[in-house]
A and B are shown apart, each in its own frame.
Chain A
Amino acid sequence: MEGGGAVSDVMTQDAGTDVQQMNMIQAINSAMDVMMERDPTVVVMGEDVGFFGGVFRATAGLQQKYGKNRVFDTPITECGIIGVAVGMGAYGLRPVPEIQFADYIYPALDQLVSEAGRLRYRSAGEFIAPMTVRSPFGGGIFGGQTHSQSPEGIFTHCSGIKTVIPSTPYDAKGLLIAAIEDNDPTIFFEPKRIYNGPFDGEYDTPATSWAGHADAQVPTGYYRIPLGKARIARAGGALTILCYGTMVHVVEHTVAMLGLDAEIVDLRSLVPLDIETIEASVKKTGRCLIVHEATRTSGFGAELLAQVQERCFHYLEAPIERVTGFDTPYPHSLEWAYFPGPVRIREAINKIMKD
């Protein structure tokens, strides 16, 4: 079991497993299903996750299949949910709590930051918190300020917590399985805007579904994608773009529109970070753009920018740029002015490529 979180290039997979078209919700559901089947210590809990199967249906069918001892609704107390998950972890279970929206994770901060994130350290390994906290995050659904936030930077700032963000159904399943198997507490933020289909950032065009998308072909069985291994979403030589979650698709679309030979790096996991892949790419292209939806000041982009600067300074041909959400709460009616969409990404690219 040890080494669950170790960076490895090997993708382990059950031999002969079938492949099915899945959207991101189905892939996440399948990851929990596979893990509950394989490991009797995996338990799933959260507000509305039991009988109903979650407000986004991510846990649909699990209670019926695995029973109420392993899949159950909880009282509405995020602090309680995570505190209980720490205790279950101490007993030897592997809890997968859901926080209904990332915007509601704050009441749980003390249990996550002071407890789950430090338990291994303060007990010198006597106790661990092997939980995976799933939570839908990000905007683009007119959810107003309490159904839109991207708080990943709060968690990457704290010691002892891993932060993982998938951008495709295939990755969502493989990463979630790796996170559940991992013995450290992991925050698994699910970009809800792309649950049902990739989103290119053009909010006034019809929504697309995952149907026919190569990354929506998902093995029905077990496979894992190691935490801390980025994915080259598009190989190229002109410019490196670092992004994750929904923004991977917005960036892909913008780059395609511009006909630019950019290299798009989908980070997949922020902590641990695949700095080797980032470094190799920036040294190759000499230019770097960082895109995230979260607010700018002290956002994860600032950390990326610092690390790229430390490692690649002599290779850079232009200042590193960031496109991020603005430092305001997420507005309701002006959602699309806030969202860092193709217009803003294109302007930043033009600036970097200017000379």
Chain B
Amino acid sequence: MTDPHDSAGLQGKAGHNLPPLRLHVPEPPARPGESADFTHFDIPAADAAPRPDETAQPATMRDMAYGLVRVLDENGAAVGQWNPNLPSETLLRMLRTMALTRAFDARMFRAQRQGKTSFYMKSTGEEAVSIGAALALDRDDMCFPSYRQQGILIARDWPIIDMMNQIYSNKGDRLKGRQLPIMYSARDAGFFSISGNLTTQYPQAVGWAMASAARGDTRIAATWCGEGSTAEGDFHSACTFASVYRAPVIMNIVNNQWAISSFSGFAGAEATTFAARAVGYGIAGLRVDGNDVLAVYAATRWAADRARANAGPTLIEHFTYRVEGHSTSDDPSAYRSAEESSLWPLGDPIARLKQHCIALGIWDEDRHAAMDKELAELVRDAAREAEKNGILGHGLHHPMESMFEDVFEEMPRHLKEQQQQMLDEWKAAGL
């Protein structure tokens, strides 16, 4: 009889002349106080990546999961096979949408710091990932985002005041103050209700896409999660379903290299790329410069055309960097080198597109400065308007009894009783 309480192997097997095993626990290249080093990270030339046919068999394009799709080179020129050759107005729209998203983030972050709401999450430095994709999709394609793709709503011209009402959980909030700030839902923008539970949206997007295919629809689905979230089982279930049913879905991994305090190595980045997850599932995989909005646009367009041609799903890794803290509850100076964000070799997505537009002669520094000023005023005015509907914790919320609505389509007796009990108790207490 073995004794389960005394470990079988703790002493090791004496007499066996074998080297001891070692546990590998990943460690990021730089911690606070150390200098950041990205020299290990080699960037292929902007025009290096080939562009396979949209209907290519996944097995013929595995290299794409280890390379890097780029369009904008170091001088701001659009080069190579992936250049989407966009008209000027689209380029300027991209620029403005990214700048508006950044201004919105700045304002709402400040609102949280001023105590007007409980929580906020910025997407600084990652704007291209959601905006490049949103502009490459059709307006009626369905998006299943994580919490860091506010850029999709902004790109789809969703009113920012509606987003602010949600952030303030005020009486203008369509979600009735039920959700944590930034956990938007906007069905009319093709934007699925955001969950706080990581990666649950991945299989849901696949399911939506399967339904669209089964019904002979023409709309496709797209979903996003962070690189850290790819560890969740839901990610892998989604890939399996997407592969088996060749679902018309685009699965985006936003590799911003950090998941709160743990670096991408804890999601497997020391061993391979995130795009390479596609290889094992027999899905087309693309690895993209996520700070190059034209590359994001082009890759999304490729994947959307592929899905519409019934050629199956695409997994896209967007390589980017999380410039700010994870959320308003986080202080990254406690776990990563302060230098990292400034040394990140793929730069800033807004600066890069701006450089490109200036090089094309369709934009200049003065116009850019004027735009930034205008957008700062725009979000300030919208925030003031939204604040008229109330800020968190200052009374202007949805009625208390609304808490019991929408649990079910029809309120069952026990909830009606609880609702009445709550009202009676507050009344008895003179509140």
Contacts and interface: CB of A to CB of B under 8 A. Distances in A.
Interface of A: 1-2, 41, 47-48, 50-52, 55, 68-69, 72-80, 91-93, 103-104, 106-107, 125-128, 130, 142-147, 183, 296-297, 326-329, 331-334, 337-338, 343-344, 346-347
A344 B4 contact: no
A147 to B, nearest CB: 7
A328 B415 contact: yes
B233 A144 contact: no
Contacts of A327: 407, 414-415, 418
Given A91-B8, A147-B180, A333-B169, A103 B197 contact: yes
Given A143-B180, A144-B183, A146-B180, A333 B197 contact: no
17 contacts: A47-B259, A47-B262, A48-B262, A55-B261, A69-B25, A75-B268, A77-B231, A77-B233, A91-B7, A107-B197, A144-B119, A144-B178, A144-B179, A146-B195, A296-B414, A326-B422, A332-B180
A78 B234 CA distance: 11
A145 B179 contact: yes
A interface, by DSSP: helix, strand, loop or mixed? loop
A128 B398 contact: no
B25 A146 contact: no
A93 to B, nearest CB: 7
Given A48-B261, A73-B262, A333-B397, A144 B8 contact: no
Interface in B242-263: 259-262
B194 to A, nearest CB: 10
A76 B232 contact: yes
Nearest to A325: B418
Nearest to A346: B429
B272 to A, nearest CB: 14
B225 to A, nearest CB: 10
Interface residues of B, number: 63
B329 interface: yes
Given A41-B10, A143-B118, 16 more contacts: A41-B7, A47-B262, A50-B25, A76-B267, A106-B197, A128-B5, A142-B392, A144-B119, A144-B178, A144-B183, A331-B178, A331-B403, A334-B178, A334-B398, A337-B400, A344-B425
B28 to A, nearest CB: 8
| Ranked 3 nearest A-B pairs via Cβ | A92-B7, A146-B196, A333-B177
B18 interface: no
B61 to A, nearest CB: 27
B431 interface: yes
Given A326-B403, A326-B418, A327-B415, A80 B197 contact: no
Contacts of B397: 333-334
Contact of A127 (B4, B27, B424, B429): B4
A78 B231 CA distance: 9
Task: Pick the most buried of A77, A125, A143, A327: most chain B CB atoms within 10 A of its CB.
Answer: A77
Nearest to B118: A142
A107 to B, nearest CB: 6
Contacts of B173: 333
Contacts of A142: 118-119, 392-393
A332 B179 contact: yes
Contacts of A333: 169-170, 173, 177-178, 392-393, 397-398
B66 interface: no
B197 A104 contact: yes
Contact of A144 (B6, B196, B234, B431): B196
B31 interface: yes
Contact of A337 (B23, B198, B422): B422
A178 B252 CA distance: 45
Contacts of B404: 326, 328
Given A127-B4, A334-B400, A346-B429, A92 B177 contact: no
A48 B260 contact: yes
B229 interface: yes
A297 B4 contact: no
B408 to A, nearest CB: 10
Given A92-B9, A128-B5, A145-B196, A75 B267 contact: yes
A260 B425 CA distance: 19
Contacts of B118: 142-144, 332
A72 B8 contact: no
Given A75-B267, A92-B6, A107-B233, A144 B180 contact: yes
Contacts of A331: 177-178, 403
Contacts of A144: 118-119, 178-181, 183, 196
Contacts of B41: none
Given A51-B31, A92-B7, A127-B4, A337 B180 contact: no
Contacts of B169: 332-333
B264 to A, nearest CB: 10
B197 A146 contact: yes
Given A41-B10, A337-B400, A337-B403, A73 B180 contact: no
Given A107-B234, A331-B178, A343 B418 contact: no
Contacts of B431: 343
B266 interface: yes
Interface string B115-130: 0001100000000000
A342 B23 CA distance: 51
B195 A128 contact: no
Contact of A126 (B4, B180, B233): B4
Contacts of B407: 327-329
Nearest to A4: B5
A347 B425 CA distance: 7
B342 interface: no
Contacts of B400: 334, 337
B232 A107 contact: yes
A55 B409 CA distance: 37
Contact of A47 (B9, B260, B422): B260
B180 A343 contact: no
Contacts of A79: 232-233
Most chain B Cβ neighbours within 10 Å, of A1, A107, A334, A346: A334
B334 interface: yes
A76 B7 contact: no
A147 B266 CA distance: 23
Contacts of B267: 75-76
Nearest to B260: A48
Given A52-B261, A72-B25, A331-B178, A343 B329 contact: no
A290 B42 CA distance: 62
Contacts of A76: 198, 228-229, 231-232, 259, 262, 266-267
A270 B426 CA distance: 30
Interface in B196-252: 196-198, 228-229, 231-234
A326 B6 CA distance: 46
Contacts of A72: 25
A51 B183 CA distance: 29
A71 to B, nearest CB: 9
A51 B261 contact: yes
